[in-house]
Amino acid sequence: MSNNTKRRLRSQDWFDDPSHADMTALYVERYMNQGLTRDELQSGRPIIGIAQTGSDLTPCNRHHVQLAERVKAGIRDAGGIPMEFPVHPIAEQSRRPTAALDRNLAYLGLVEVLHGYPLDGVVLTTGCDKTTPACLMAAATTDLPAIVLSGGPMLDGHHKGELIGSGTVIWHARNLLAAGEIDYEGFMEMTTAASPSVGHCNTMGTALSMNAIAEALGMSLPGCASIPAPYRERGQMAYATGKRICQMVWDDMRPSQIMTRESFENAIAVASALGASSNCPPHLIAIARHMGVELSLDDWQRVGESVPLLVNCMPAGKYLGEGFHRAGGVPAVMHEMQKAGKLHENCQTVSGKTIGEIASASATSNDDVIKPYDEPLKHRAGFIVLSGNFFDSAIMKMSVVGEAFRKTYLSKPGEENTFEARAIVFEGPEDYHARIDDPALEIDENCILVIRGAGTVGYPGSAEVVNMAPPAALIKKGIDSLPCLGDGRQSGTSASPSILNMSPEAAVGGGLALLRTNDLLRIDLNNRSVNVLVSEEELARRRVDWQPNIPESQTPWQELYRQLVGQLSTGGCLEPATLHMKVIARSGPP
């Protein structure tokens, strides 16, 4: 369709339908009471939703409340009419039991708004971890023209002359606290210094990773993900995003043209080079499933595992969001990937340019922050996908795994490539906190900490708890991390060597439920396997004794969620919601 062909838009089915004058009158009169004129509403101009994820309850996204004014200015200048509306809050750092519970709820709510209201396109305001996948999942299901406006990271944190990153500082400071090197006051002072401004986490945690993925998918304007929240460019990006969505509506440019199988592969490649959060695999798979694109953990292994770590940001490296932005952000990473032949260049983006066009114009200005593909921080640093005799799949983020582990992973035939560890099993985070310092467990450096009951059903949403700290006594001896394993997730800001997202989870009868403390686990990273050294007969005996132990739901949504949710390996989606429903946005009023 040519760029400026005026055609009847979806919103006119509400606002200008003489054959249903009574309904049209109802729709028009109540929107007029906010000062809009009948002429505006019946002018045939695009009505653009602004899906507002910011609020006092979601501090990482709160500045979107102000940014929306710049979005509205852009929409108006491009001839559209903005309508801002709230999205269910998702605050990663404060939502109990876990913000993951809200991703699918916000998704459902947003789908209903995009389907049921007179909108021709939508600006998705994203930021804090799950706000980005929730918005992209809804854009996928409805296939309404949509563009992402990231909120951007906070300014870099500093403490006593050192760069400190959100989240990452907490995992470090909790060890100092356990070792008695700082007290509660010192702990609070150090950790809160990581948040010097508005914005989301300044580390390459889930928020920055997922916004970078949105950009790599082609769903935001080039450079959008990394602009720090307080920079003037953020407001300018908001304005440009508002302008652009109007043209996208006239061009009928929809998510299904942008989020294709090839663009998901681009997102995996870029995420791997970023040292992205271990939450990205389930989120990306969820977005793809709602888009009707087949994507699985095998694709993360196949496309991402061999990709080197290029981005030198915490937790895998040393810089933070401001450094990443100044070095060129996502387009500069894509530039390196393009040179190495690791990008599908023809993928479309919301900007109207292809990924290849954006990448070729975007060399980094600082190759200590964004490394050349041939001289990376680490080779083969994507996610690996493991399996074993008591589970089907789990992931490990190789960009943060220490050298001892990596040696076994990168070993050659004949070299030592397995290690064995004694399992210490915890029934969820409360049990871990109650017992980790119990001397009777005799935890030493040859142990692996195991946590279960933390998957999508067990701890509804799935808890970010697998990165467990060793007992204080061990930390005092200088052992500040142990391998961990579990059916929960871990924070994207953590550098813990963990085997995560184990599926199926213990709560639904996965073999993890059968492990016992002091079982030996044999881990072979080279062959991507983890096996418990217990006979099949013994596991079968334990299975007979096993009783499901799912705690009671505390709210109606927790109960519904548990009944409908799948495992992390397939995105933690509400399974009935993944039936493909692209027709929605093409329809008029329901």
DSSP class of 337 = H
Which range binds ligand FES by CB under 6 A, 139-147, 198-206, 396-404, 579-587?
198-206
Residue 126's beta-bridge partner residues?
150
Interface of this chain with ligand FES, residues 161 to 180, rule: CB under 6 A: 166
Whether the Cβ atoms of residue 447 and residue 424 lie closer than 8 Å to each other: yes
Q: What DSSP line would sit under 435-455, residue for residue?
A: HTT-GGG---TTEEEEEES-S
Say how far apart CA 65 and CA 53 lie, in whole Å. Answer: 8
Residue 586: CB partners within 8 Å, gap ≥ 6? 10, 143
Least distance in angstroms from the C-beta of 394 to ligand FES: 24
Say how far apart CA 119 and CA 101 lie, in whole Å. Answer: 27
491 binds, among Mg ion, ligand FES, none (CB under 5 to 8 A by kind): Mg ion
Least distance in angstroms from the C-beta of 58 to ligand FES: 8
**Structure-token pair, residue 158:** 């500093």
Q: Does 132 bind Mg ion (CB under 5 A)?
A: no
| Complex with ligand FES: residue 207 or 369, whichever CB lies closer | 207
Least distance in angstroms from the C-beta of 92 to ligand FES: 4
93 binds, among Mg ion, ligand FES, none (CB under 5 to 8 A by kind): ligand FES
Least distance in angstroms from the C-beta of 170 to ligand FES: 11
| Complex with ligand FES: residue 201 or 523, whichever CB lies closer | 201
Whether the Cβ atoms of residue 443 and residue 435 lie closer than 8 Å to each other: no
Interface mask (CB under 5 A) for Mg ion, residues 79-108, using x and -?
Answer: -------------x----------------
Given the structure tokens 């809050």, which residue do they identify?
A: 89
| Complex with ligand FES: residue 135 or 577, whichever CB lies closer | 135
Whether the Cβ atoms of residue 561 and residue 460 lie closer than 8 Å to each other: yes
- ∠ CA 218-219-220, nearest 5°, is 100
**Structure-token pair, residue 186:** 């010192």
Q: Which of residues 71, 148, 149, 207 is near ligand FES by CB under 6 A?
A: 207
Whether the Cβ atoms of residue 385 and residue 481 lie closer than 8 Å to each other: no
Least distance in angstroms from the C-beta of 216 to ligand FES: 18
Which range binds ligand FES by CB under 6 A, 36-44, 200-208, 234-242, 382-390?
200-208
Interface mask (CB under 6 A) for ligand FES, residues 10-49, using x and -?
Answer: ----------------------------------------
Whether the Cβ atoms of residue 206 and residue 200 lie closer than 8 Å to each other: no
- ∠ CA 105-111-114, nearest 5°, is 140
Interface mask (CB under 6 A) for ligand FES, residues 44-63, using x and -?
Answer: ----------------x---
Least distance in angstroms from the C-beta of 142 to ligand FES: 25
Burial of 183 (0-12, 13-18, 19+ CB in 10 A): exposed
128 binds, among Mg ion, ligand FES, none (CB under 5 to 8 A by kind): ligand FES
| Complex with Mg ion: residue 45 or 283, whichever CB lies closer | 283
Which range binds Mg ion by CB under 5 A, 411-419, 434-442, 462-470, 520-528?
462-470
Interface of this chain with ligand FES, residues 77 to 96, rule: CB under 6 A: 92-93
Q: Does 272 bind Mg ion (CB under 5 A)?
A: no
Least distance in angstroms from the C-beta of 200 to ligand FES: 3
| Complex with ligand FES: residue 93 or 418, whichever CB lies closer | 93
Nearest residue to 346 via CA among 470, 227, 485, 218 = 218
Residue 188: CB partners within 8 Å, gap ≥ 6? none
Least distance in angstroms from the C-beta of 248 to ligand FES: 27
Say how far apart CA 64 and CA 238 lie, in whole Å. Answer: 9
CA 69, distance to chain mean position in Å, is 26
| Complex with ligand FES: residue 26 or 57, whichever CB lies closer | 57
Least distance in angstroms from the C-beta of 383 to ligand FES: 20
CB atoms under 10 Å from CB of 150, counted, come to 35
Binding footprint of ligand FES, residue count (CB under 6 A): 10
Whether the Cβ atoms of residue 338 and residue 359 lie closer than 8 Å to each other: yes
490 binds, among ligand FES, Mg ion, none (CB under 5 to 8 A by kind): none
Whether the Cβ atoms of residue 345 and residue 355 lie closer than 8 Å to each other: yes
- Estimate the share of the chain in helix, then strand, then coil, as percent rounded to the nearest 5: 40, 15, 45
Q: What is the identity of the amino acid at 511? A: G
From residue 286, how far is each of 135, 203, 293, 408, 503 by CA, in Å? 11, 23, 10, 32, 15
Whether the Cβ atoms of residue 383 and residue 528 lie closer than 8 Å to each other: no
| Complex with Mg ion: residue 129 or 322, whichever CB lies closer | 129
Interface mask (CB under 5 A) for Mg ion, residues 479-508, using x and -?
Answer: ------------x-----------------
Cα within 13 Å of Cα(527), Cβ side: 12
Least distance in angstroms from the C-beta of 270 to Mg ion: 20
DSSP class of 152 = -
**Structure-token pair, residue 321:** 């969001």
313 binds, among Mg ion, ligand FES, none (CB under 5 to 8 A by kind): none
Binding footprint of Mg ion, residue count (CB under 5 A): 3
Interface of this chain with ligand FES, residues 102 to 131, rule: CB under 6 A: 128-129
Least distance in angstroms from the C-beta of 93 to ligand FES: 4
Say how far apart CA 223 and CA 332 lie, in whole Å. Answer: 9
Q: Which of residues 46, 165, 205, 488 is near ligand FES by CB under 6 A?
A: 205
Footprint of Mg ion on this chain (CB under 5 A)?
92, 464, 491
Footprint of ligand FES on this chain (CB under 6 A)?
60, 92-93, 128-129, 166, 200-201, 205, 207
